Amino acid sequence: MNKKYNRPESLRDSDTHYCPGCGHGIIHHLVAKAVDELKIRQKVIGIAPVGCAVVAYDYWNFDVCEASHGRALAVATGIKRCRPKNIVFTYQGDGDLASIGAAETLHAANRGENVTCIFINNACYGMTGGQMAPTTIIGQKTATTPSGRDPFAGDGWPLKLSEILSTLKGVCFAVRTSVSNPRQVHQAYDYIKKAFCSQIDKKGFSLVEVLSPCPTIWQKTPVEAMQWIETEMIKEFPLGVIKE
């Protein structure tokens, strides 16, 4: 019998450091699978963020660059402008992309940099112990919003960066997806592939936002975390194509 699901060549055979039920591992896998499927492993250059996915290079089996917190898209700009034939993508958390790196994100998108951005929205800062992120939903308890995010107490509203970016001419592709059920996982995979394809076709900035479970910070079981995405997060962050 043939094995149907193999480890992609673009994924290293290593133990994970992610928490049980974390979405990062699934999304790493999807990226690796898309890279294999498009046969771009030998020319892809990934940019790892500062956040839980800081050591993404321990998992991907292709060239990867570090970036300081929030600046992945500036680093991507430098790489892609020098090596336009390579496929360049960033992989960033919501704190990295939408808070400290908001300016770099907005301007890379506005310049229409021909790169792909994989945006992991887990509604919190995972790495630093669960503080409020720009994407934390209203009422969500975090280390810095102990009684729940309250926009009227000065915490601000959940930031819908993908929608904001989709208004920019430089952005050719913007979608939001999740990994909360198998159907969505397949959808996420298709979107990631599409985003890479739009880069191959030199169309401009492509963005895939993925709602991703963080059971540890959310203080939920892995199953509850997946359910919370579907019952709560999706209300704030509707799935689908935002711009194509």
Ligand X SMILES: Cc1ncc(C[n+]2csc(CCOP(=O)(O)OP(=O)(O)O)c2C)c(N)n1
Which parts of this chain interact with ligand X (CB under 6 A)?
50-53, 69, 93-96, 120, 122, 124-128, 133
Cβ atoms < 10 Å from Cβ of 169: 10
Report how far residue 170's alpha carbon sits from residue 180's, in angstroms, rounded to the nearest whole number. Answer: 30
Residue 144 near other proteins by CB under 8 A: no
Q: Are 119 and 192 in contact (CB under 8 A)?
A: no
Residue 57 near other proteins by CB under 8 A: yes
Q: Which of residues 107-136 bind other proteins (CB under 8 A)?
A: 107, 111
Task: Please identify, using beta-carbon distances, which residue of 51 and 213 lies nearer to ligand X.
Answer: 51
Q: Are 145 and 155 in contact (CB under 8 A)?
A: yes
Task: Quickly list DSSP for 161-176.
Answer: HHHHHHTSTTEEEEEE
Residue 174 vs residues 16, 109, 206: alpha-carbon distances, Å:
29, 11, 6
Site size toward other proteins (CB under 8 A) is: 36
The interface partner of residue 42, options being ligand SF4, ligand X, other proteins, none and the CB cut-off 5 to 8 Å by kind, is other proteins
Q: Are 88 and 79 in contact (CB under 8 A)?
A: yes
Q: Are 165 and 109 in contact (CB under 8 A)?
A: yes
Task: Please identify, using beta-carbon distances, which residue of 56 and 117 lies nearer to ligand SF4.
Answer: 56
The interface partner of residue 67, options being other proteins, ligand SF4, ligand X, none and the CB cut-off 5 to 8 Å by kind, is other proteins
Task: Please identify, using beta-carbon distances, which residue of 111 and 220 lies nearer to other proteins.
Answer: 111
Residue 99 near other proteins by CB under 8 A: no
**Least distance to other proteins, CB of residue 76, Å:** 6
| The pair of three-digit structure tokens given for residue 49, joined into one six-digit string | 């963020």
Report how far residue 168's alpha carbon sits from residue 16's, in angstroms, rounded to the nearest whole number. Answer: 37
The interface partner of residue 203, options being ligand SF4, ligand X, other proteins, none and the CB cut-off 5 to 8 Å by kind, is none
The interface partner of residue 166, options being ligand SF4, other proteins, ligand X, none and the CB cut-off 5 to 8 Å by kind, is none
Q: Which H or E run includes 92?
A: strand 87-93
The residues that touch other proteins, with contacts defined as CB under 8 A, are 41-45, 47-48, 54-55, 57, 60-68, 71, 74-83, 86, 103-104, 106-107, 111
